[in-house]
A and B are shown apart, each in its own frame.
Chain A
Amino acid sequence: MARSRSDEIPLVRVSELQKYFWENDSLLDRLLGDEPVAVRAVDGVSFDIYEGETLGLVGESGCGKSTTGETLLRLQEPTGGAVEFDGQNVYDLEGADLKAFRREAQAVFQDPFSSLDPRMTVGRIVRQPLDIHGVGSKTDRRTKVQDLLERVGLAADHVDRYPHEFSGGQRQRIGIARALALEPEFIVLDEPTSALDVSVQAQVLNLLDDLQDEFGLTYLLISHDLSVIRHVCDRVAVMYLGEIVEIGPSEDIFESPRHPYTEALLESVPRASTEERDRERETISGDVPSPRDPPSGCRFRTRCPKIIPPDDLEITQPEYRAVMTLRERIESRNITLEAVSDEAERSDGDLEVDSMDAFVQGLKTQVLEASLDPRHQEVVDAAIADLAEERWEEAEVRLAEMYASVCEQENPLLTQDDHPAACHLHDPPVIAEHTIENP
């Protein structure tokens, strides 16, 4: 379904959406003079959703997908940016307009156990939106609720039961019925199947598919499950640490991913087939960095298997990756020197030169993941020797002079084409040259 839609007007247009959460922001913290810390959950996200399509938002936990979904429904106030729904900025709406928007945009939440009030009957849960918006007469509403329940695959006389009487899959159907009650145009599906077993997940996915065809719904599907995304979505946006790194038609994203993160994500998913065991795959190392202090430049650079070395440098990718990981650890002062120096002293007694050598070797085996070419070996050894005397800055500068990558200086922007990706590999920056000299 990868059709070009640039001439159409999108139903939802998200531009530069930001949502920060603040830590150390209480009155006490301010009295104590602590600086508030921003957790940049969503940091400048832009995308369009066209009528009748399903846009998938995929990423690892903590990348800001759910916050994006909640903020664009105005369940959270944004820190910056705008969301246009049917041509109107959602954050400017008030009174009746806002209420109208609430009718048109609904949500289905992840956990069917906590998103339904355990003290309400199913009938009341599904009827509540109708009550709030004053739709129809009392009997109309009751018939409507029964219709809805039947439509999502439950029985009409389930209205008087309580959520605990239902299984996870059935509860998710109740949540879907509630979202459908006001006949919305647009539904945010926030991990609708992640709490369900595969066989039940398939039932719910099929149901969502049917409902979309029947009512002409537009979906934003938030999920961490790539196979669900692939199965359901027309277009996909991949998020990493609060930013969209790649967006495009589902087919293109899965068949020819352009961003190294998307590639790594796709590689990591184990396939349920007998060929899986022999499938060669490269896993990416490390964890997602904290959104409190995201890496400079490209946020994926700390894990990227394709990080770009300076033009004039001859170095293989594993070597460069190892050096870059070492640089990060030096910059975050995340290396214990005591353990190594203890060892060095123990094995070599007091001899100064020897112990320095032993220190360098000892630390190197601990912190360096690959063996280096002699040329690079020399630079790295010198930097580690700096560490021995706790001259962290010097070590930092020494390595930065030689190994600074464009990826840490420039945050790549999404390219302007049918399948945008935010990676320097596809959009080499021009101004990178002179910035390398003064790190």
Chain B
Amino acid sequence: MPSIPDSRANTEGGCEMIQKPLLRVRDLETRFFTEEGQVNAVEKLTLDIHDGEVFGIVGESGSGKSVTARSVLGLLESPGRVTGGELWYRDETFADTVRADHPDAVDGDYVDLESLPSNVRRTLRGTHFSMIFQDPMSSLNPSIPVGEQIAEAVEAQRRARANPRSVASRTQGYGLSQYLMSTVMGSRKYVKSESLERAVELLELVGIPDAPLRAKEYPHEYSGGMLQRAMIAQALAGEPKVLIADEPTTALDVTIQAQILDLLTELQEETGMTILLITHNLGVVARMCDRVGVMYAGEIVERGTLADVFDDPVHPYTQGLLGSIPDLEGIGARLQPIPGNVPSLLDHEMGGRCYFADRCPKAMEECLEHPPEFDVDGSSHHATRCYLAETTYSEARALDADYFGSAEPLEDAADEPVEPARSDGGNTEEDSR
């Protein structure tokens, strides 16, 4: 039986009972095998998510946030594959069901989802895990009324509950013959009228006015905000324990974003579900999350409570990210951008160093060796993959500014490499006129 590395005790709030995390991700590795080579989209990712919390993953595009979410759900498509790591999910009933067939995958209340066959894992989707996607316009089927799409999700869960044994079968007892019959006889339709009623209820729950009427409309008749609400309704159909929200408000305007965030908060308070929120928007994280993980190049480089990460960031990347946002509250000084670009994550270009070292203003000799995760003083949740957690920055051991000249393929393949700080701060003094 595999052992689970012990996680930090949850001491948040002090009086709270020490509880076991709902989800323990250990050394998760996701690779994409592309023509250009192996892409290490998620690299040794370790994470605990507790019951009823909102955990935020924040990072720039290409940092592996969405791939992490999809890996947790097992929704990766070729050429992507989870190549290593464990994904422990705590659910007593589920553990009991699986124990007989897959004893190796069970440890106490925990089940390692990665060692389950995909058809068993599939039964978790909808009822235990659910996901909402970034672009509501392209995530719903344009040729089916919204209400019916949600009803389909309800129906699938209803059938799953009615007959837990056949859940694993792909058709859930609704085969081709039934489908053909349904074209003649309305009573044989996959979606039953109770499910349609439930779909209307769900639409009301997410605040769609005049839900009975809107349920009959097609996605193009909805506005972006309404569609996002509809998608949330669909995700809630199976009353999931964990909701994964992948950039849920990125495609929306700020006033609508505020509405959707309020809705998510409300639903979370009502149902007590756990939310894994993926976003690039630090404001959204600040609004929603209890704990945050900052991702860079497939790794969580810093994690902790919201206050740990926002008020005492240790990793220079976190600091850079926070320094890059223009302040709404006052005219700030000049922005402090991070020079350079997000690395490509190709395996052969990654090397053994700290992945951020080439953009890091505080890169030192130590950074040539990949840093492990260090605990940071302050809160028990705070940890970072940076040597600065243990040592202080010293000029003596600093790397030369152009040490990584050869690490940035675009800037340097040129005959005369451009110094990153110059090329990206725009500090060149010559006048081009």
> Which A residues fall within an 8 A CB radius of B?
60-61, 144, 147-148, 150-155, 157-158, 165-167, 169-170, 180, 183, 197-203, 205-207, 209-211, 214-215, 224, 226-228, 230-232, 250-251, 254, 264-274, 276-277, 281, 283-285, 287-288, 329, 334-336, 338-339, 366-367
Contact = CB atoms under 8 A, between A and B. Distances in A.
B283 A281 contact: no
Contacts of A334: 210, 213
A276 B287 contact: yes
Nearest to A62: B253
Contact of B410 (A170, A270, A285, A367): A170
Given A151-B432, A269-B283, A287-B226, A227 B325 contact: yes
A274 B324 contact: no
B430 interface: yes
Contacts of B410: 165-167, 170
A227 B330 CA distance: 9
B254 A268 contact: yes
Contact of A335 (B210, B223, B261): B210
B324 A202 contact: yes
Contacts of A230: 326-328, 331
19 contacts: A60-B256, A147-B432, A151-B432, A153-B425, A158-B414, A198-B324, A202-B326, A202-B337, A203-B424, A206-B425, A210-B426, A231-B326, A232-B326, A268-B254, A269-B283, A270-B286, A271-B283, A271-B286, A288-B253
Given A285-B259, A287-B256, A201 B286 contact: no
B418 A269 contact: no
A165 B61 CA distance: 17
A115 to B, nearest CB: 18
A151 B424 contact: no
A61 B137 CA distance: 15
Contacts of A170: 341, 410
Task: Tell me the interface secondary structure of chain A in the complex.
Answer: helix
Contacts of A202: 323-326, 335-338
A235 to B, nearest CB: 13
Contacts of A60: 253-256
B25 to A, nearest CB: 24
A226 B223 CA distance: 22
B327 A205 contact: no
B124 interface: no
A215 B430 CA distance: 12
B395 interface: no
B8 to A, nearest CB: 21
B65 to A, nearest CB: 12
A124 B191 CA distance: 58
B328 A153 contact: no
Given A198-B280, A207-B426, A226 B328 contact: yes
Contact of B259 (A274, A283, A367): A283
Interface in B258-305: 258-259, 261-262, 280-287
Contacts of A284: 255
Interface string B200-234: 00000000011011000000000101100000000
Interface in B57-80: 60-61
Contacts of B212: 336, 338-339
B286 A276 contact: yes
With most chain A CB atoms within 10 A of its CB, the pick from B253, B257, B339 is B253
Given A206-B426, A210-B426, A274-B310, A231 B254 contact: no
B187 interface: no
A71 B224 CA distance: 26
Nearest to A145: B432
Given A147-B432, A270-B284, 7 more contacts: A165-B410, A202-B337, A203-B337, A251-B331, A265-B255, A281-B258, A285-B259
